[in-house]
Amino acid sequence: MFLILIVGLGVEYGVRLVWRRKISEIEIVQPKQFSYLKYSIVNLGMRNYSGSEIIFDEVKSKTEKYYIEPFSYMSDGKKVTGIAHIPYGCSVEKKCPVIVQFRGYAEVEGYYSGYGTSRSAQVFANNGYITLAPDFLGYGGSDMPDRDVWIARFETYTSTVNLLESVKKWEYSNGKIGIWGHSNGGQIALTVLEITQGKYATVVWNPVSVYFPYSVLYFTDDNDDEGVALRKEVQRLENEYNLQGFSLTVHLERINAPILLQQGSADESVPQKWSDALFNKLKSLEKDVDYQVYPGADHNMVPGWEKVIDKDLEFYKSKL
């Protein structure tokens, strides 16, 4: 019996020793910091956005009906620049509706403020709408985005929501705010609608509207490394996160805004089937969406650009 007791105590001591060692090991291992979780669409919708004062620079140029002026604002401590088209007469005394424009993808080299938005902005300004087109972080005179590729992507959403909040406080705005987005800017627009659940009248041209991360991987063929580096980053992300939390296709029920979806049938960058699927999903959710397809039109809505922009004006006049 004594021998059994000694053996038993030895086993218990050994187990306790091993357990203490494991506890010690566990205590010194740093827990994973799931730093991207705060950027899920739902979590971005739960945070506060303060916006900032919109600062305007010297007038860049003038036309008969509007003037063009650079602007900047602050988003989470970072400066974001952009370009504004402001109709004459819009002022503190006579407030005007504002359309915030999100361009598609652009290379940093050769970029200029108004890239991808200036032509439509001219039409909107000629018809009494102020337009604000942000450069986004890393472009124009903006501060640099985060060095992490995914945080830099998510900062695009936070900086655009902060711009919308800034417009609400802007003394020239009458409170009627619309959104316009083309290509990847359309993806940003749709995601912002999900984050804010706001009722911003929104026009999207040939939007990137497929699930994440396919929405990123689809366009890697043109990369110098054929997308190798980005695929590694996607794998890293998938190892620790459920990526549906970051995918706009999973959160369409959060959209409360009226949408005009415009698609060129001959677009070789954004296939029409993406917009077909988006429209069908939105309709199944009983969302306020109008869908127009332009036969033979390319990614930039050519031919038929004039018909497309006229449809935009018709939409904004009825919704703003």
Q: Which of 275, 283, 223 is nearest to 253 (CA)?
A: 283
- pLDDT of 179 > 80? The answer is yes
pLDDT for position 234: 87
Q: Which residue has the higher pLDDT, 18 or 126?
A: 126
Q: What is the structure's pLDDT at 33?
A: 55
CA torsion 120-73-148-46 (nearest 10°) is: -90
Q: What is the mean pLDDT of residues 37-54?
A: 96
Average pLDDT over residues 86-94: 96
Burial class (CB in 10 A: 0-12, 13-18, 19+), 219: middle
Decide if pLDDT at 29 tops 60.
no
In the prediction, which pLDDT does 14 show?
Answer: 42
Tell me: pLDDT of 285 over 80: yes
Q: Is the model's pLDDT at 34 over the cut of 70? A: no
What are the pLDDT digits (tens) for 122-172? 999 999 999 999 999 999 999 999 999 899 999 999 999 999 999 999 999
Contact 228, 258 (CB under 8 A): no
- Interatomic CA distance for residues 180 and 288, integer angstroms: 16
> What's residue 226's pLDDT?
77
Kindly give, in sequence order, each residue whose CB lies less than 8 Å from that of residue 36, ignoring residues fewer than 6 positions away: 150, 151, 154, 237, 241, 246
Q: Examine the pLDDT at 243 and tell me if it is beyond 60.
A: yes
pLDDT at residue 26 tops 60:
no
**pLDDT tens digits, residue range 199-209?**
999 999 999 99
pLDDT class of 265 with cuts at 50, 70, 90:
very high
| pLDDT tens per residue across span 246-264 | 999 999 999 999 999 999 9
Strands 173-182 and 96-102: parallel
